[in-house]
Amino acid sequence: MTIVEEYSVEMIKLILSMTFTGSIISFFLFILKPIIKDKLPKTFQYYMWLSVVIALMLPVSKIIVIPISNHSTMSMKPMYDIAQWISDAVSEKPINLVFTSQNPNGQNIRQIAYFPSTAVVLFVFWQLGMILVLGFHVICYLSYVRRLGKHNISANRQEIALLNNLLETKNTLRLYKNPIVGTPILIGFFRPAVILPDKKYEDMKLRNILLHEITHMKRYDIFVKWLLIFVGAIHWFNPLVYFVRREMNKACELACDESVIKRFAISEMQQYGDTLIAVAADSIRKLPLSVTMFEDKKNLKERLDAIMKHKKYSKKTVIAASAILVTVVCAILGLSTLHGIENERNYADNYPLPQDQKRIKEIELRNALRNYDEKNIAEAYVFLSDLDDEITKAYLTIICQEKNPSSEMQSGIKSLVSEELGLDIQNIYVDYIDYELFTSN
């Protein structure tokens, strides 16, 4: 197995580990959602989904390094057996073609050609998917921002004055009007701007709209949206990630509403609800990587109900819920870690198939041969044959810098192989190929 194949296998294991851990936590939260819907703050229900995002980005099962022997260490394996099964399936040894050609002097030159293994093909396929998904969103965002920039109109002094009065620090948020947007939006991470439809709003409605967008800015919801795009690109093959993203977008709006109205009187809450209805009456279009005051008319009833049912929650309730959530998430991640430790303690037992044991020994022997004489041995290829789960013969191809390796070196290599595999020397077959002839052909 080449370095590229080994790296591909490890990356596939890593991605599978993260996607399975994140999926289990998301399943738990989807089950928990109807239970806590009206019993915990919307802000808590929004930020609890960040535990899924962390699990999808943080390879917990790979962080701890378990010592295998006095001379080497090996990182933990993924938490789920299915992930191990998939990674074992894709890490099968690639097809090797050995053919003979002749150099001008009539000598036979043996060459070994490798086709990409399944692991490499899957890893490249995953990379292409990630680049396409991430690139699609970035291109859509940049093109949309460019299009907005052509039609942006500076807001009037009265509207800018109202915005500055609502902001704690002035000039941290820009305000524009634009005829091509149908609903107020907040866009931009480093230079955020509120863009309003090119229409006249009543003072109270404009105040509610600006408060909503300012709250989004202070809570860094644009950053969360970018984070969700990035996680979605990494796990583009996992459909559950798209449901998590939709749920977080919905929870984001509910949490923002809650934050805006927490100091409102009943009459002000009713006016805020009227503002939502007025905004919802405008045409809604899906806008790339922006925060809109209203994204989905289907959620209007839920948001209005949440406003009318708004109540203050005690700190004890929030702290208790947070402690329970942290405990459950840590338990899931802990099970992943413990499972990985158990697998590493029984590392050899995790490869029950003879072909896997043989592959491991081929890799170990290949590395030992390359380290035997680093200056002279450019590459080593190892092929083992077995009978009844026992290795019986070893076939080696050594690419040497020297045209004629010394008898001492040849004897040393056979002794090394005999010691590593426990084979008799007569069952070890070694071919030596000159490096220049090998590369030239």
Please spell the DSSP secondary structure of 72-131, one letter per residue.
Answer: -EEEPPPS-HHHHHHHHHHTSPPPEEEEEEE-TTS-EEEEEEEPPPHHHHHHHHHHHHHH
Judged against a pLDDT cut of 80, whether residue 388 lies above it is answered with no
Q: What pLDDT, on the 0 to 100 scale, is given for residue 334?
A: 65
Task: Of 74, 69, 60, 63, give the one whose Cα is nearest residue 18.
Answer: 60
User: Can you give the pTM of this predicted structure?
Assistant: 0.65
Query: Would you say residue 241 has pLDDT above 90?
Result: yes
Quick: pLDDT tens for 253-277.
Answer: 888 988 888 888 888 888 988 888 8
Q: What is the pLDDT of residue 352?
A: 43
Q: Which pLDDT belongs to residue 35?
A: 86
Q: Pull the structure tokens for residue 58.
A: 């943080």
What is residue 101's predicted lDDT score, i.e. its pLDDT?
A: 46
Least confident of 301-305, 398-402, 428-432: 301-305
For residue 67, the model assigns a pLDDT of 42
Most confident of 2-6, 265-269, 306-310: 265-269
User: Does 219 score more than 60 pLDDT?
Assistant: yes
Instruction: Please give the pLDDT value at position 368.
Output: 87
3-state SS string for 283-303:
CCCCCCCCEECCCCHHHHHHH
**Mean pLDDT, rounded, of the chain:** 77
Give pLDDT, residue 70. Answer: 37
Give me the mean pLDDT over the 318-334 stretch.
Answer: 76
Q: How do residues 63-82 score in pLDDT, each as one tens digit? A: 544 343 333 333 334 334 44
Residue 337 in this model has a pLDDT that exceeds 70: no
Per-residue pLDDT band at 285 (split at 50, 70, 90): low
pLDDT-based confidence at 235, cuts 50/70/90? very high
- pLDDT tens-digit series, residues 28-43: 899 988 888 888 888 8
| Residue 138's pLDDT band (cuts 50, 70, 90) | very high
Positive or negative, the Cα torsion across 391, 393, 394, 395? negative
Among 15-19, 30-34, 94-98, where is mean pLDDT lowest? 94-98
pLDDT class for 308, splitting at 50, 70, 90? confident
Q: Which residues contact 101 (CB under 8 A, 6 or more apart)?
A: 108, 109, 111, 441
Q: If you average pLDDT over each of 4-18, 38-52, 103-117, which comes out highest?
A: 38-52
Confidence (pLDDT) at 353: 44
pLDDT band per the 50, 70, 90 thresholds, residue 168: confident
Q: Read off the tokens for 183.
A: 């609903």
- Give the pLDDT band of residue 107 (cuts 50, 70, 90): very low
Calculate the CA dihedral of residues 369, 371, 372, 378 and round it to 10 degrees.
Answer: 70
pLDDT for residue 354 is more than 60: no
Q: Between 122 and 235, whose confidence is greater? A: 235
Distance, C-alpha 84 to centroid of its chain: 18
Q: Taking the domains of the chain in order of start, what are their residue ranges?
A: 3-95+322-350, 126-313, 354-440
Amino acid at 308: M
Q: What percent of the chain has pLDDT over 90?
A: 15
* Residue type for position 40: L
Instruction: Kindly report the number of other CB atoms within 10 A of residue 227's CB atom.
Output: 17
Q: Which residues pair with 377 in a beta bridge?
A: 400
Q: How far is CA 25 from CA 109, 319, 328, 413, in A?
A: 56, 20, 9, 52
Residue type, position 426, single letter: Q
| Percent of the chain topping pLDDT 70 | 75
**CATH match of 354-440 with 3.30.300.30:** yes
- The confidence band for 172, taking pLDDT boundaries of 50, 70 and 90, is confident
175 or 357, which is more confident: 175
